[in-house]
Amino acid sequence: MEDHPRVKNAATPGQVNWARRKDRRVEVERKALVGQQLATPPGRRFVWEELARHGIFESITVQSSMIYALSGRRDAGLELLAEVQAFPELYLQMQAEAMQRKAHDDHEAAANQQEHQRVEP
């Protein structure tokens, strides 16, 4: 994101119109980038992991000193989630793939635990 104003003089209609067009172009490009990520299995995995990393699947009920940091992190994740949900079919596919990975990982962990229990006296 840019951290400087797009318009130097808001009273100049030409500058305001240019800024609106620029904002719209950035928005369209961003949506296209999100769609490109969701179009591939590795991209969907990356986006899902980013959502998880930003804590959208977790509660932020913690000590008061941590609330603000976790809330900000979660807000960023919720913004990404809103962008992703513009592609409902791909969002559902991403979610299903994540659930399959978790089931596979859980199965492997259980098998590993059973194997170690048999080996130990």
Query: Count of CB atoms within 10 A of residue 15's CB?
Result: 15
In a domain, 7, yes or no: no
- Report the predicted TM-score, pTM, of the whole model to 2 decimal places: 0.71
**61 three-class SS:** coil
Give residue 43's domain range: 13-119
Distance CA 18, CA 39 (A): 31
In a domain, 32, yes or no: yes
In a domain, 6, yes or no: no
In a domain, 5, yes or no: no
Percent of the chain with pLDDT over 70: 88
Chain segment 27-68, per-residue pLDDT in tens: 999 999 999 999 999 999 999 999 999 999 988 777 777 888
For residue 99, the surrounding DSSP H or E stretch is helix 88-119
pLDDT at 16: 72
- For the cut 80, the answer to whether the pLDDT of residue 13 exceeds it is no
